[in-house]
Structure 1
Amino acid sequence: MRIGELAARTGVSVRSLRYYEDQQLLGSERSPGGQRHYAEYAVDRVRMIQQLYAAGLSSKTILGILPCVVTGEVTPELLGRLTAERDRIDRQISDLAATRDRLDTIISASTCVHEAGGHCAPEGGARPLAAEGACR
């Protein structure tokens, strides 16, 4: 498939696909006219690259991971890096869950009614939530 089709199927810009090639994360064959052509597996590879980028992995780390995705073999060094990345992602998930829980608490506590000073209070004028840093 050509680069435009890969971009459409994955929701990734043509520019990003070219960047992935520059970083050696993705390969293509060139036609005699110089057009890029990708194998069908490129769709899954681009989606995986996107997931790894979204999780905060660098292109260098992703480049190190890709061979073991194909072969299933992981060196002890790579296993250590993968474990560290997984642990970092777990911490990030915990932090995000704590933030979500805090927002849920604020949302369920009341509907904010803005007062003149920019603070919020539950309807009825009870204890201001701004003391906890909410609703500014």
Structure 2
Amino acid sequence: MRIGEVAEQAGVSVRALRYYEEQGLLGATRTGGGQRQYPEGAVARVRMIQQLYAAGLASRLVREVLPRCMNEGPSPIGFTDSLITERARIDRQIGDLTAVRARLDEIIAVATDPSHPHHSHPVRGAAASTA
């Protein structure tokens, strides 16, 4: 398959396919004219790469786990440990984002509720008392 065909069927850009190739995630041969030619199964592989990226995995980890996800061989040593570590990283990010959202909710509450104790009120009559 040519690069445009794979991109269209997989729902990704041609640029993404080139990036996957640079990262060692996707292989292609070259025709006599220098065009990329992808093997059967390239679309399924690209879709799996997309799923792994969507799960928050870095290219290094995608490269490590992709063969196993595609049933291309035995699991690499530490396969599960790497995924568990990545999940813990994502859990920390979720915790951080939850804390940020809670602070934002507090700011919104203060800003929208004039009776909130921390809501700043202009001092009434301040201009008149300084005259």
Q: Contact (CA 8 Å) 1:121, 1:128: kept in 2 or not?
A: no
- In 2, the alpha carbon distance for the partners of 1:71 and 1:129 equals 60
Structure with the greater relative contact order (CA < 8 A, sep ≥ 6): 1 or 2? 2
TM-score (norm 2): 0.65
TM-aligned CA distance change 1:48 to 1:94, over 3 Å: farther
Which residue type is aligned with residue 121 of structure 1? Answer: T
- In 1, the alpha carbon distance for the partners of 2:119 and 2:50 equals 38
The SS at the match of 2:74 is coil
- In 2, the alpha carbon distance for the partners of 1:102 and 1:52 equals 29
- In 2, the alpha carbon distance for the partners of 1:11 and 1:130 equals 49
Instruction: Give deviations 1:29-50, integer Å, cap 9, x for gaps.
Output: 3333222222352223222222
Does 1:78 pair with 2:79? yes
Does 1:120 pair with 2:111? yes
- In 1, the alpha carbon distance for the partners of 2:118 and 2:83 equals 41
TM-aligned CA distance change 1:92 to 1:43, over 3 Å: farther
- Name 1:31's counterpart in structure 2: 31
TM-score (norm 1): 0.63
- Name 2:88's counterpart in structure 1: 87
In terms of Rg, which structure is larger? 2
- In 2, the alpha carbon distance for the partners of 1:61 and 1:46 equals 15
TM-aligned CA distance change 1:121 to 1:26, over 3 Å: same
Which consecutive unaligned segments of at least 5 residues does structure 1 have? 113-118, 132-136
- Number of residue equivalences: 118
- Name 1:4's counterpart in structure 2: 4
Q: Contact (CA 8 Å) 2:10, 2:43: kept in 1 or not?
A: yes
Which residue type is aligned with residue 5 of structure 2? Answer: E
- In 2, the alpha carbon distance for the partners of 1:128 and 1:35 equals 67
- In 2, the alpha carbon distance for the partners of 1:32 and 1:120 equals 66
Which residue type is aligned with residue 18 of structure 1? Answer: R
Does 1:18 pair with 2:18? yes
- 48-57 or 60-69, which deviates more: 48-57
Which consecutive unaligned segments of at least 5 residues does structure 2 have? 121-131
Q: Equivalent pairs: percent with the same residue?
A: 49
